[in-house]
Structure 1
Amino acid sequence: MKNILLIIADDLGRNLGVCGETCIKTPNLDKLAAQGTYFDMAFASTASCSGSRSVIQTGLHTHENGQIGLLRGFTGLHYFTTFDHVESSPKLFNEIGYTTGIINKVHVGPDSVYPWHWREESATRDVAWTAERAAAFFSSVNEDPDKKPFFLTVGYIDPHRDHTRGGFGNFKEYPGIDHLAYDPAEVQVPEFLSDCPEVRQELAEYYSAIWRMDQGVAMLLAELKKAGHEDDTLVVFTSDNGPPFVNSKSTLYDAGVHLPLIVKVPGAKPGVINPNMVSFVDILPTFLDWAGHAELNDKPKAQWGGGHPELELNNKRQGRSFLPILNETTTLPEWDHVFGSHTFHELTSYYPTRYLRTRRYKYHRNVAWQLDFPFPGDLYGALSWEGMRNSEEAKIGQRTIANYIRRGPEELFDLEADPNEVNNLAKDPAHQEILLDCRKRLEEWQLATEDPWYFRDGISTRTIYNHIDAGMKMPDRFDFDVDNPASRDGVISRYK
């Protein structure tokens, strides 16, 4: 049997011992990493919960699959969903004869696009309950006379914030789960945050939620073993986006998208630290490869814009299986970059950005750069943000607040010299060749993925392709120039 267990933490950054974390205790996840492969350079496409989960479950970036923002929230102000035509992992695996299921956090929709056979959605942080429901799923599979393989997704709520100003769900005790309190004075403040009392207080609570989630993973894996499936199940553990703090979650800076990824393949070499760059769009192709259906990754996806043949480009998933490189401990030239896409968090948090990340450089294209960078509601109300904005320095880590809120149309960072992405080199004459190369590569990717946010003269070329083909002249620039509105010298004659 070729079973799959996908485990997704909520808002967990590189906060595991295997990532180099020395303050937070994560013995069970570190043990899982020691039994399999840890990808040290794994990147989410986007840094928002629903969007990232949709990428994992579809193998498509958010601007391809339609889940460009949060599915829903307690305010009820947003309801972004995946396109009806998208083939998700439950749909694909149902078709090839798997029993599919999801337990605890789901956060993608609509249900018709994600037709899991077994669905137990919950907002509980009771990780013992989650393990119990997984045990029930495994028992059901074992009792099935057809003996079909399974694909189960388990989505933890931890370590996401709760609905208080600085809490992470640690106010409640759960039977069989140990609570570990951390001293705010002893936490390690990451470089993307400022060291102030409010940040330390929230980090201590965040650490406790990670400890609870780590216990839950141990319980879950124990149930997998008890059910007799430890040796025939591909186990993947990851997170949806980085920590729930400003300068991380909802941004495409590395703090928001550079995440842990642990892969345990039965019989594979243990304890591998893999340095190759992989993307979350590679996860579904990996699952299909493991199941013996790699050919489904080449199945054409539905057309953008309702099926216009004129818009046909690379009409397949961009991801690829990382099973062939699972045991690599050196870098491979063909695994040296990733792309990403963010458009909305909440309905009111609009800031479309696309990124290219190589080993050394990070390039951001901020499409609506004239807007202030928006705050997710839970981060704006957080004690940590209040503490940083009212501190004497008024900084977010090494970044000024002005630098965080007001960004240019392009950002280029040399990550060797500037790992926190603070010094924007986009206008540096010495880096113009690199900038132009990154811009070209990103735009080629936008076109290959049929990105509606491929803008020229302040408008999406995807919405006016027919006018361009009819001879309309269009200036070759990102934004509309109010001081030079003429288009008579326009040079754009293409949309692809």
Structure 2
Amino acid sequence: MQRKFVSLIVGLVTCICSVAAGANVPAKPEASGRPNVVVIVADDHGTDAIGAYGNRIVRTPAIDALARDGVRFDRAFSTVSSCSPSRATILTGRQTHTNGMYGLQQVVHHFQSFDDELSLPVALENAGYRTARIGKYHVAPDSVFRFGKNLGAGKKAQRGELGRSPVEMADLSNGFISADGPFFLYFATMDPHRSAPHGKVNRFGNRDDGFADTPTVTYRPEDVVVPAFLPDIPAVRAELAQYYQSVSRVDAGVARLIAHLKAAGKYDNTLILYLSDNGVAFPGAKTTLYEPGMRLPLIVKLPGGGRAGDTEKAMVSWVDLMPTVLDYAGVRVPGSVSDKDTEGRSFRGLLDMTAYKPRQAIYASQTFHEIQMYYPMRVLHEQRYKLIWNIASPLPVRQAVDLKNSATWLAIGDKPNARYGERPVASLLKRPEYELYDLQNDPNETRNLAKDPAMRKRLEEMKAKLVKFLDETGDPWSPNWMGRGE
């Protein structure tokens, strides 16, 4: 398939070559010290289970402390609600249809990004940063998402994945943190993702014998807070209690990681981002582009400690993360200084309270999760209104295996006339071509206005704007591109 934006690709290649040659960036770390960068990516963590976002039951003291030291974003959005595509966007600053990562990376699904993508670790390494990753990776190819070190290579935590033991991840990162020179650490937990087996109340990676050096924090089902999009039934409460426990394990890892940064004297001069790849792993959130699937936590602790404790209402997108990090690192690539909503762009000006043009729109997409889950959707999310185009609306919606076989779904999802939270179950399984929501008056997206005569003009305007974005970014699912080939 022919790809658009040849000029952008040429620009990226030129940038790589110039950086490698030492142009525009110092060949060695500056004496004054450029900021270190730590990006913490939790797995399937929604804003629903963080104290700093208003949940008074879940215990997340380290994440809450990070929010007190930094800026908490209330309107931060992923561009896709699926693990590998979202991570590829975080690490390239590009939409899934422009970086090529349409679905899950693992062998059975075999999605991967285009070979000529420029990733955040490569750009920073070329600029003189030490780079390392630990925990969940889930992107490919390695040549694109190349890190200088894999700090968890060969390591397992108590008969399971290292990513389930964030405290151990932090300890394994300590030597890298303490070494000389500016660094980029990509710290990606597997918590609080669901775990196997399926078909009963999921443990979300929790174990009866716990994890070494990690406090076990448990919750009673009767105490959890059931989000509006979920039904308040025993199975949901039981699974939320397990989810909370997994979230608290993430928090313990964040606490240990920050302790290591402080002990090494690196905390003050480190840009820290805490975020998630997509929403919580419950039907109605993950793999959907409803708000619980794409409106996510983002906490940014600035080098030097500016704006400590602030809350930010401006909209930002995961395509903006790479340009923002590169901006703080003093590395320029195409798009990093753009003010166009159709591209990833730095929001450093927003954080520093200098020149910044606020976003008026976020674009998002979903095409695959697992390879058999073909259901392409495209989204235009404005300040008040949100349009979802279900491109394959005649098809039934297929759910991810861990959601379809969850105790939550099995308790209610096979009853066609039942309700699932504030929605009929049937509306999750079969969707209209267009969904238009007024998020100001209907934040839970329960009243589709697409067929409301009073909203016809707005619907047509948003459809045209969405199609224009698809055309400009070379999306092969654009109505003006469908059927083209070589």
- Smaller-chain TM-score range? 0.7 to 0.9
Partner of 1:97: 128
Measure how far apart 1:232 and its partner are: 1.5
- Structure 1: 5+ residue runs without aligned partners? 301-313, 465-496
In 2: Cα distance, 1:77 partner to 1:394 partner: 34
The answer for the alignment partner of 1:450 in structure 2 is 474
- Whether the 8 Å CA contact 2:415–2:425 is kept in 1: the answer is no
Q: Which residue of structure 1 aligns with residue 346 of structure 2?
A: 321
Q: Partner of 2:64 in structure 1?
A: 30
Match of 1:246 among 255, 273, 283: 283
Q: 2:368 pairs with 321, 324, 344, which one? A: 344
Partner of 1:414: 438
Match in the other structure for 1:460: 482
- Partner SS, residue 282 of structure 1: helix
| RMSD of Structure 2 on Structure 1 (CA) | 2.2
Equivalent residue number for residue 318 of structure 2: 280
2:82 paired with 1:48: yes
1:471 aligns with: none
Report how far residue 376 of structure 1 moved: 0.3
Residues in 1 aligned to 2:440 and 2:259: alpha-carbon distance in whole angstroms: 41
Does 1:58 find its partner at 2:92? yes
**3-state secondary structure, aligned to 1:412:** strand
Matched, 1:170 2:206: yes
Alpha-carbon distance in 2 for matches of 1:213, 1:342: 27
Contact 1:297-1:316 within 8 A present in 2 as well: no
TM-fit CA distance, 1:417: 2.0
**Structure 1 residues 370-415: Cα deviation after superposition (integer angstroms, max 9, x where no partner):** 1111100110111010112256962221111111111111110111
Match of 1:439 in 2: 463
Amino acid at match of 1:65: N
Alignment partner of 1:203 is 2:240: yes
Work out which of the two has the higher radius of gyration on C-alpha atoms and give 1 or 2: 1
Matches within 5 A, 1:131-150: 131-139=170-178, 141-142=179-180, 147=181, 149-150=182-183
Pairing 1:115–2:146 present: yes
Deviates more, 1:384-393 or 1:395-404: 384-393
Q: Does 1:78 align with 2:109?
A: yes
What SS does the aligned partner of 1:193 have? coil
Q: After the TM superposition, which residues 328-367 of structure 1 pair with which residues of structure 2 at under 5 Å, given as runs?
A: 334-367=358-391
Of 441, 444, 451, the match for 1:427 = 451
Cα offsets for 1:275-333 (capped at 9, x unmatched)? 00000000000011001123454699xxxxxxxxxxxxx9998111111111569xx87
**How far 1:355 moved relative to its partner?**
0.5
In structure 2, distance between residues paired with 1:335 and 1:453: 24
Separation (CA, whole Å) in 2 of partners of 1:40 and 1:270? 15
Q: Quick one: structure 1 residues 328 and 357, their matched pair in 2 at CA, closer, same or farther if it must change by over 3 Å?
A: farther
Other-structure match for 1:154 = 187
Instruction: Check the 8 A contact 1:288/1:297 in 2, yes or no.
Output: no
Aligned counterpart, 1:484: none
Instruction: Encode CA deviations 1:254-284: one digit per residue, 9 max, x unaligned.
Output: 0000001011112212111010000000000
Letter in 1 for 2:58: I
Q: TM-score, normalised by structure 1?
A: 0.84
8 Å Cα contact 1:274/1:328 also seen in 2? no
Tell me the CA shift for residue 240 of structure 1. 0.3
Q: Is the aligned partner of 1:12 residue 2:45?
A: yes
Corresponding residue for residue 167 of structure 2: 128
- Percent identity at matched positions? 40
Question: What is the CA distance between 1:77 and its match in structure 2?
Answer: 2.4
Per the alignment, in what secondary structure is the counterpart of residue 411 of structure 2?
helix
Aligned to 2:412: 388
Alignment partner of 1:349: what SS? coil
Give the counterpart letter for 2:116 in structure 1: H
Amino acid at match of 2:75: M
Residues 1:26 and 1:316: Cα distance change in structure 2 (over 3 Å):
closer
- Kindly state the Cα deviation for residue 164 of structure 1 after the two structures are TM-superposed: 2.1
Shift of residue 207, structure 1, vs aligned partner: 0.5
